[in-house]
A and B are shown apart, each in its own frame.
Chain A
Amino acid sequence: MSAPLPRRLRPDLAIIAQHIEPFARMLDIGCGHGDLMAELRSRKQVDARGLEIDPHLVADAVGRGLPVVQGDAGRDLADYPGDSFDYAVLSQALQTMNRPDVALEQLLRIGKAAFVSFPNFAHWRVRANLAFRGRMPVNRALPESWYETPNIHHLTIADFRSLARLRGYRIEKSWYLTGGRARGERWANLMADQAVFLLTR
Chain B
Amino acid sequence: MQRFNFPVIQPDPALEELRGELQRFLKTERDEGNFKPEPECWMASADPEFSKKMGTRGWIGLTWSSQYGGHDKTALERYIVTEETLRAGAPVGAHWIADRQHAPMLLKHGTEEQKLDILPRIAAGECYFAIGLSEPGAGSDLANVNTRAEKVANGWKINGQKIWSSGAHISHYMVALLRTSSADGRNRHVGLSQIMIDLSLPGVTIKPIVDLSGDAHFNEVYFEDVIVSDDCLLGDEGGGWKQVTGELAMERSGPERFLSSYITLETALWQLSGKMGSDSHALLGKLIANLRTLKGMSWAIANLLDQGVSPETEAALVKDLGNRLENDLTLQARAMLNDLPSDQWSPDMRRIMNIGVLRSPPNTLRGGTTEVMRGITARQLGLR
A, B co-complexed: no
